[in-house]
Amino acid sequence: MCRARTAIWDVLVGADRIGSAVRRQLLPHAVVKDLGLRCVYGRMPITAATEPLIPEDFDRGFCWVGGPDGCGAGFAPMRFRSRPRGAADYLMTGLVATQGRLGVPDEWLFSLSPRELWAIAVKATADWHPALQELIRYADPDSFFPIAIRAGVRVEAWESGPVTLLGDAVHTMPPTGGVGASTALQDVATLADELIRAAHGGQSLVDAVAAYERVMLPRGFDNVDQSLRNAEMMFPEFPEFPER
């Protein structure tokens, strides 16, 4: 039996990602659009055997490889400077394709096992350059998962109060900009600074939230727009990106 719970708080921050329940109540008119692209993420462990497979240029950072017919892939090495216990270096692999190119409807795609998703990625890149095929084939089959690529539509500023939003809960952006996580961290830093000022008596809590939102909203949606421009360059033949 579920018991109702209550909590007492001064400020509620909705940081509950794309499907934010807080956003639905605070901004019921806010829209998140499906771009019609799907990404199948995985990772290839970097070992003595797989290190030689990674093209030298990939060590510069994120690299995008454009494929045919609404398909492409992103690759990025993760090499730990300070290695957490149990962590190993890996190459991030992200196959991005239209639903038609993957050949799997959403009701199947999001129910498949990691190994089944790996098999789809292997099949989708079967006619690519052998060096790229190997990066997918040698990836860990148990590391794969799918996401739908979506983007938030810019919203106008609202009357600030003791409830606010942060990160993908407000300015959902596609991964084509590579700045989703860093933008959320900027939100955290900006909000923390304003709340600390309020705690020291420099302003009220509502004024702190308002100051945060004046910075967060334009910055976040400018990054959404840039990510969409990147997506348009990556998929110039794909017409379904939303108007900004």
pLDDT tens for each residue of 8-47:
889 999 999 999 999 999 999 999 999 989 999 999 999 9
Residues 160, 183 contacting (CB under 8 angstroms) = no
Terminal CA-CA length for the chain: 46
Residues 46, 89 contacting (CB under 8 angstroms) = yes
Q: Is 44 helix (H, G, I), strand (E, B) or coil?
A: strand
Cα separation, 159 vs 213, whole angstroms: 10
State CA 144 to chain mean position distance.
Answer: 15
> What does the pLDDT look like over 182-193, one tens digit per residue?
999 999 999 999
**Going by C-beta distance under 8 Å and a sequence separation of 6 or more, which residues neighbour residue 142?**
114, 115
- 243 pLDDT band (50/70/90 cuts)? low
Residue 47's closest CA among 90, 100, 105, 10?
90
Query: For 35-149, CATH number?
Result: 3.30.9.30
pLDDT of 3 above 80: no
User: If you average pLDDT over residues 126-143, what whole number do you get?
Assistant: 94
pLDDT of 148 above 80: yes
Residue 77's closest CA among 56, 58, 95?
58
Cα separation, 184 vs 103, whole angstroms: 33
User: If you average pLDDT over residues 54-82, what whole number do you get?
Assistant: 88
- Residue-level pLDDT at 31: 94
> What does the pLDDT look like over 192-242, one tens digit per residue?
999 999 999 999 999 999 999 999 999 999 999 999 998 888 887 665 555
Does domain 12-31+161-234 match CATH 3.40.640.10?
no
Structural domain boundaries in the chain:
12-31+161-234, 35-149
Average pLDDT, the chain: 91
pTM (2 decimals)?
0.86
